[in-house]
Amino acid sequence: MENEFVPDRQHLCHVTLFLYHSGSNMKAAETKTRDVYKDHASGYNTIVRWYKRSKVGDYTLEDEEKSGRPSELNLSELRRAVKTDPFQRTREMASTLG
What 3-state DSSP class applies to 87? coil
54: number of CA atoms within 13 Å, CB side?
A: 21
pLDDT tens-digit readout, 21-30: 999 999 999 9
Q: Has this prediction a pTM greater than 0.75? A: no
Q: What is the pLDDT of residue 3?
A: 77
Alpha carbon 62 to its chain centroid, in Å, reads 12
Compute the distance between CA of residue 51 and CA of residue 56 in angstroms, rounded to an integer.
9
Domain boundaries, the chain: 9-55, 72-98
End-to-end CA distance of the chain: 47
**Alpha carbon distance 53, 51 (integer Å):** 5
Mean residue pLDDT across the chain: 88
Region 14-43: mean pLDDT is 96
